[in-house]
Amino acid sequence: MKCKYIHSKKDHLAIRSDSLLARQQGASLLEGIAYLGIAAIVVLGAVSLLTGAFGSAKANQMTEEVVAIRTAVRKLYIGQSYPTSSLVPSLLLANAIPNTLARPTNTTLSNSWGGAVTIVGTSTGFTITYNAVPQDVCVSMISGASGWTQIDQGGNNPITTFPATVSNANSLCTVNSAAGNSITFTAS
């Protein structure tokens, strides 16, 4: 190690090291905090994007499920009148229910959020009801929906003109609590 002797103004002897090992290595505390802050911002941004992507994926999944159920009911009962009771048991026996819906029992279905999915025949057609649908998924799913006789939530603000507009979807999907929206699709 090389050392240089430096004389100060008061003629005191001071030693300064030119060795690379004696110099500061790594980051200071402030630099470390700055790095952690930037990393936290990046992680929060990624989580935010993923949350939006998962919500969109769930809306797409729900749309596919409802359309698949509508097609299956029409196909199963082609040329017949619909029974005025639950169609779930018949659809399950015909293996006509999308695999993405949970089957807690032989007569019930559940969606991704744990809400009941019911399919009931009426004198003029049938209804498919999805319960516990989050507001963002509800709006994404209903906006642009078509091929239905009516879409409503408990009889409130029924949509009867299709394709449904974003304004229609916003008026219908009003529940933003954990209970979610209960959406009924009516078809003939």
Binned average pLDDT, 10 residues per bin, the chain of 188 residues: 54 56 67 82 75 68 93 94 95 95 93 95 95 91 92 90 93 88 95
Judge whether 162 and 145 are in contact, CB under 8 Å. Answer: yes
Q: Residue 145: which H helix or E strand, with range?
A: none
At residue 169, the pLDDT reads: 93
Q: Which of 141, 132, 135 is nearest to 164 (CA)?
A: 141
At residue 154, the pLDDT reads: 84
At residue 52, the pLDDT reads: 61
Q: Enumerate domains of the chain plus CATH numbers.
A: 62-187 (3.30.1690.10)
At residue 86, the pLDDT reads: 96
Judge whether 131 and 116 are in contact, CB under 8 Å. Answer: yes
At residue 98, the pLDDT reads: 95
Q: Compute the Cα dihedral for 125, 180, 156, 168 and give only its sign.
A: negative
Place of tokens 């019911």: 118
Q: Compute the Cα dihedral for 160, 166, 169, 171 and give only its sign.
A: negative
